Amino acid sequence: MNVLIIEDEKPAARRLKRMLSVLNIEVQQLLHSVEESLNWLQNNKHPDLIFLDIQLSDGLSFEIFEEITVKSAIIFTTAYDEYALKAFKLNSIDYLLKPLDEDELKVAIEKFKEHQPNIANLKVHLDDIKKLLVNPVDRKFKKRITIRVGQHIKIININEIVCFFSENKATYIHTLDGRNYLLDHSLEYWLELINPEIFFRVNRTFIVHINAIEDIISYTNSRLKLTLTSYNDTEIIVSRERVKDFKNWIN
């Protein structure tokens, strides 16, 4: 059995590797971020099993599955509460609660060997889990955000925002007046605070406002290209895995 560990806490990753070695299980690689994991999975044969942390250093690990088709079974390692863990149980996806326990690890491995999780259904399960993790019921969404500009604090109405985007490990908003403003938090942070009816994450880099979309163009590999109000710095492409959800969102 070949195993991959994706965990942003390096001591925790090394400890899990040692625990697996006691069970005579080979660990191919230790990876610590979404970006690093995408690069590795795009250039290597996928392992039999991946131990996957949910919160990585550069975002949620769900982003990996939104970019590529992973041909491995998944066991999540997580510190989320029981409400979130219900989703794992309902969808028959194994999980290990941190700090990891040796006996629970053995049980999870045996369950994987006996039942061989249904990889074809993984995308659906992830969507269900993600909704529980980041979209709780009765959420109140941001109507405005404040940004420090020099010695001043600027108030920006949410409907003035054309898009959120990341660049060089920093996060920005682009506004209707054509300006970019640096934000203090990641795209994942803001995605939890803005209304999903008016904002949609089209790829790993961009979240767009529905009213800012001026044109939608068919693009290569079944993707879509967007033209946004006042933004023309880089191409904005709806990733192939998100095209279906994007079309449902705009209807």
Spatial separation of the C-alpha atoms in residues 103 and 88, rounded to whole Å: 19
66-125 residue pLDDT tens: 788 888 888 888 766 544 555 454 344 677 877 788 888 998 898 888 766 555 555 556
Spatial separation of the C-alpha atoms in residues 70 and 123, rounded to whole Å: 9
How many contiguous H segments (helices) and E segments (strands) does the chain have? 8, 17
State the CB neighbour count (10 A cutoff) for residue 70.
20
Burial (0-12, 13-18, 19+ Cβ within 10 Å), 214: exposed
Spatial separation of the C-alpha atoms in residues 6 and 48, rounded to whole Å: 14
Helices (H), 165-242: 187-191
pLDDT of 175 strictly over 70: yes
4 has which bridge partners? Answer: 29, 50
pLDDT of 178 strictly over 90: yes
How big is the chain by its Cα radius of gyration, in Å?
A: 20
- Domain architecture of the chain: domains with CATH: 2-134 (3.40.50.2300), 144-250 (2.40.50.1020)
148-163 residue pLDDT tens: 888 889 999 999 999 9
Give me the half-sphere count of Cα atoms (radius 13 Å) on the Cβ side of residue 241.
Answer: 16
Tokens matching residue 238: 């709806």
- The pLDDT assigned to 137 comes to 45
Comparing 122 with 204, which gets the higher pLDDT? 204
Give me the half-sphere count of Cα atoms (radius 13 Å) on the Cβ side of residue 248.
Answer: 6
- In sign, the C-alpha dihedral spanning 130, 134, 164, 39 is negative
Query: What is the band of 139 on the pLDDT scale with cuts at 50, 70, 90?
Result: low
Q: Residue type for 104, please?
A: E
In DSSP notation, 114-152 reads HH---GGGHHHHHHHHHHHHH--TTPPPPSEEEEEETTE
Taking Cα atoms as reference points, which of 206, 213, 205 lies closest to residue 247?
213
- The pLDDT assigned to 210 comes to 95
